[in-house]
Amino acid sequence: MMNIVLLEPEMPANTGNIGRTCVATGTRLHLIEPLGFKVNDKTVKRAGLDYWDDLDVTIYDDFKDFLEKNPQCAGKLYMFTTKSRQCYCDVTYPKDAWLMFGKESAGIPEEILVDYEDYCVRIPMIGQIRSLNLSNSVAIALYEALRQNGFDQLNPKGDLHRLHWKSEN
């Protein structure tokens, strides 16, 4: 199972959208405090629609607490940052990868990144753009990791029913 880790997320709508993506993909969500909102905030729930109750989510006091409670993430914790020299699609993600993203206003602090330099990855952008929206970044990264693993346990195909219609001449 994939894991999304949000370090100090600030915007409830982003976290709600990410929660919905996690439910749709069978991914666990890990939230590291301080949060810029209360988890029961109506904005979080509205963005997550009626999926929030189905979300597998754990909240941690800080990054140290997260690491202590998840020793299994060692060697599988990928940190998404604009400061990395490595592209996110050049990494081979295990089926139980941990994809970590920092808060919207500042990303993951450098004092954390330096200890994980080999696991830092970047989503390419043009010019000096600061960053993408957090929920978009999570979706890009998660679906690449899922794609690499054959979309394990996801429905890869839909069922389009052809509509019959007459063309008017």
Distances (CA, A) of 100 to 36, 53, 73: 17, 22, 11
User: Which residue, chain included where needed, has tokens 């994980």?
Assistant: 116
The pair of structure tokens assigned to 60 is 């941690």
The pair of structure tokens assigned to 121 is 């990855």
- The DSSP secondary structure of 3-26, one letter per residue, reads EEEEES---HHHHHHHHHHHHHHT
Tell me the sheet residues that pair with 76: none
12-23: b (≥16 Cβ within 10 Å) or e: bbbbbbbbbbbb
Give the annotated binding-site residues for S-adenosyl-L-methionine.
102, 123, 131
